[in-house]
Amino acid sequence: LLIDDMQFLQGKSATEFGHTLSALLTGAKQVVVAGDSAPRDLEMLDERVRSRLSGGLVVPINPFDQDLRRAIVQKRAEQAAQRFAGVNFAPSVIEYVARSVVSHGRDLDGAVNRLVAANQLTGEPITIPLAERTLADLIRTHDSRRVRIDDILRVVSRHYRVARNDILSSRRSRDVVRPRQIAMYLAKALTQRSLPEIGRRFGGRDHTTVLHSVRKIEQMMRDDGDLQQEIELLKKMLEE
């Protein structure tokens, strides 16, 4: 059994996975799972399930080193040159992208695609100055701490003194709804997760619920300076 994105399992699905895992391991079957954190940090899973996963071979997937990033950019650049007339990536540009874009592989693909699009739309050669302008937001991620949704839930739960399980639950009381909306807003603002992904992490909610929460908090911040300062404080706490 192979499962990716274990961190998205919630509620009944997590319980069913625990039963499935026990049955497979009892039958001497192999199970491989991947997630964005170690088994002990997958708080949506039962403690017994986390213990069973921790008892297996736990292997961290480290960020790409610069040689691998360079090889990826080189390959994507060669593919782009075959598809589009006038596309040429100088070795210095490939080196710049490989050194500067360090978040994950999809961003390397995105960096090459952006540079190709800029070249095709404007006719400007693909140079380091063009890369600096076009890839500014991808490069900024190198300097900022990666914020996880688990971090947001932990900080918001502690700040508002609301249990994490209440934030993920269907409770509609004001003392739970507001922290939940703020947590969703922070997840959208500080992570690269999509709205559907955020919804799944917040108790299996629909992406429209997440969008409503984000817009609600944005409007409240415009109307309430104190709330804006409070959320800025939460951001600083998460980025420290």
Each residue's pLDDT tens digit, 148-201: 899 999 999 999 999 999 999 998 898 999 999 999 999 999 988 889 999 999
Predicted confidence at residue 164, as pLDDT, reads 92
Predicted confidence at residue 167, as pLDDT, reads 94
Which one is predicted more confidently, 47 or 33?
33
Predicted confidence at residue 140, as pLDDT, reads 55
Predicted confidence at residue 125, as pLDDT, reads 93
Average pLDDT over residues 32-40: 86
pLDDT band at residue 145 under the 50/70/90 scheme: low
| Cα 152 to chain centroid, rounded | 12
Average pLDDT over residues 58-62: 86
pLDDT > 90? residue 63: no
Predicted confidence at residue 152, as pLDDT, reads 94
Q: What is the pTM of this model?
A: 0.48
Q: How does the average pLDDT of the chain come out, rounded?
A: 88
Predicted confidence at residue 240, as pLDDT, reads 63
User: How many Å apart are CA 21 and CA 18, to the nearest integer?
Assistant: 5
Q: What is the pLDDT of residues 79-100, one digit of tens each?
A: 999 999 889 999 999 999 998 8
Predicted confidence at residue 180, as pLDDT, reads 96
**CB-side exposure of 75: number of CA atoms within 13 Å?**
9
86, 121 contact by CB (below 8 A):
no
Q: What is the pLDDT of residues 201-224, one digit of tens each?
A: 999 999 999 999 999 999 999 888
As a whole-number percent, the residues of the chain with pLDDT over 90 amount to 52
Phi-psi region of 123 (alpha: psi -120 to 50; beta: other; left: phi over 0): left
Sequential DSSP letters for the chain: -EE--GGG--HHHHHHHHHHHHHHHHTT---EE--SS-GGG-TTS-HHHHHHHHTS-----PPPPHHHHHHHHHHHHHHHHHHSTT----HHHHHHHHHH--S-HHHHHHHHHHHHHHHHHH-----HHHHHHHTHHHHHTTTSPPP-HHHHHHHHHHHHT--HHHHHS----HHHHHHHHHHHHHHHHHS---HHHHHHHTTS--HHHHHHHHHHHHHHHHH-HHHHHHHHHHHHHHH-
Predicted confidence at residue 118, as pLDDT, reads 95
Average pLDDT over residues 38-63: 84
pLDDT band at residue 142 under the 50/70/90 scheme: very low
User: How many Å apart are CA 151 and CA 164, to the nearest integer?
Assistant: 11
* Residues 6 or more apart in contact with residue 95 via CB below 8 angstroms: 70
User: How many Å apart are CA 17 and CA 19, to the nearest integer?
Assistant: 5
As a whole-number percent, the residues of the chain with pLDDT over 70 amount to 97
Structure tokens at 223: 């109307």
